[in-house]
Structures are given as C-alpha cells and as structure tokens.
Structure 1
Amino acid sequence: MTTIREQASRGLKQGDAFTITRTFTERDANVFGEISRDMNPVHYDERFAAAKGLRGKICHGLLVGGMITEIGGQIGWLASGMNFRFRRPVYFGDTVTCVFTITEVEERNRAKAEAVLCNQQEKVVIKAWLTGILPGQTERTILAQT
C-alpha cells in the first residue's frame, strides 16, 4: 500500500497535500494519442511544432494533467468536476511534479482541491481546480485492505 493510500484510509481533511513526480516520454504521448485519438501534429511533427513557435514536439495537456488522477485514484476521490489552466508546454523528457492539495471539505465528504504541476525548472505548467467526494468510513476501510 502506498503512503498516499495509507493516509486516505485514515481519513482526509482540508490542507492534506500529496506530491508525485513523473518524466514524460514520446512513447507516453504516442500511447495517449492512440487512446484519446488526439492526433494534433503538435505532438508528432517537429515542423508543425516549430510553426506554432515551440522548441519541439509537446506532450498532450491532458496526459500531463492526468497526473491528478494518479493521486485521486490512490485516495479514492470520486471526481465531479475538473478545471484546467494550461500555462506552459511540456516537452518530451521534462519531469513534472504535481502537488495536489485538499482545499475544502464539506458535509457528506464533498471536497475541493487544487493541483499545481511544475516542470523541472519549477515553472508552473498546469493549474487545476477539482471537486469531488472523499471516501467515507466504509470506503476507507476497504482502502486499508487494498
């Protein structure tokens, strides 16, 4: 069991934060493109990326933004809304750190969170605002067993 899952099984509260890091590869983008059917040439063609003013091909924004789902899955977050602000491109070989912070917990475990994703130069590449439902006691017991 991961430390993120362990914390979730004990219960989550406002201010809890989780951090993960991932380096993105061209293979990641190719697989994501096949699954999502997003074949925008900015992800596959150097010439097209250059014509857009980029220094090379870039990762799909939702591939990078998907880092929040790794954390959400570990804590048993049931998403009801996600809002992304894509600030900078992520190039193949970039390492991105995602900090996911629970900003509000309401009655019936409804919650809000913010995620800030930064590249290896500590520049924000994505900001996200999330709404969802945190696991209740029964779900936390099951999380502890998985």
Structure 2
Amino acid sequence: MNDIRRRTVAGLNAGDTFTLTRTFTEKDVDAFTEVTRDHNPIHSSKRFVELKGFSDRICHGLLVGGMITEMGGQMGWLASGMNFRFIQPVYFNDTITCHCTLTAVDERNRAEAAAVFTNQHQEIVLEACLFGVLPNARERRVLQDL
C-alpha cells in the first residue's frame, strides 16, 4: 500500500499535504495525443512552436494537471470539479512536482484542495483548485483491503 492510500485509510483532514514528482516525456505526450485526439501542433511541430514564441514543443496542460488523478485515485476521491490556471509551459523532459493540500473537509467528506505544480527550476507552472468527496469510513475499509 502506498503512502497516499495508507494515509487515506487512516482518515484525511484539512491541512493534509501530498507531493508527487514526475518527468514528462515525448512518449507521454504522444500517448495523451492518441487518447484525447488533441493534435494541436504546439505539442508536435517545432515550426509552429517557434511562431507561437515558445522555445520548444510543450506538454498538454491537462496531461500535467492529470498528476492530481494519481493522488485522487489512491485516495478514492470522487471529483466534482477542477479549476486549472496554466501559468508557464511544461516542456518535454521537464520534471514537475505537485504539492496538493486539502483545504477543507466537512462532516459529509466533501473536500476542497489546492495544488501547486512547479518545474525543476522551482517555477510555478500550474495551479489548481479541486472539489470532491473523500471516502467514508466503510469505503476506507475497502481501500485497506485492495
């Protein structure tokens, strides 16, 4: 059982923080393109990228933002809303760290969280606000058995 699942089984509270790090590769972008059918040339054409004023091809914003689904999946979080603010591009082979903090959890396990994504230069590339429902005690027992 990983740390996120273990902490979820024990019970989560406002103020709990989770951190993940991932390096995004061209292979990741190709797979995301295949699944989403997002063929924006900003992800694939160096010529187009130069015209847009970027230094290289960039990763899909939602691919990077999708890091939160790893946390949510381990928690059994049922998402009801996500707001993203894309601040800087993420280039192929950038290493991104996502710090996600539960900012509110009520008696019905409805939760809010804030996530800040930084690159290997400690620059903020993305911010997100998340809304959803955390697992209740019975559901956490099932998570423990998985």
Q: Which residue of 2 aligns with 1:42?
A: 42
**Which digits, 9 at most, give the CA deviation of each residue in 1:12-71, with x for residues without a partner?**
000001001000001100110010010000000001011100000000000000000000
| Matched letter for residue 10 of structure 1 | A
Q: Distance in 2 between matches of 1:49 and 1:28?
A: 18
Q: TM-score, normalised by structure 1?
A: 0.99
Q: Give the SS at the match of 1:104.
A: strand
Q: How far has the Cα of 1:107 moved from its partner?
A: 2.5
User: Which aligned pairs between 1:1-146 and structure 2 lie closer than 5 A?
Assistant: 1-146=1-146
Q: Distance in 1 between matches of 2:16 and 2:61?
A: 25
Q: Count matched residues.
A: 146
Where does the alignment leave 5 or more consecutive residues of structure 2 unmatched? none
Q: How far has the Cα of 1:82 moved from its partner?
A: 0.2
Identity %: 58
CA-based RMSD: 0.5
Q: Structure 1 stretches (4+) deviating beyond 4 angstroms?
A: none
Q: TM-score, normalised by structure 2?
A: 0.99
Q: Distance in 1 between matches of 2:50 and 2:143?
A: 46
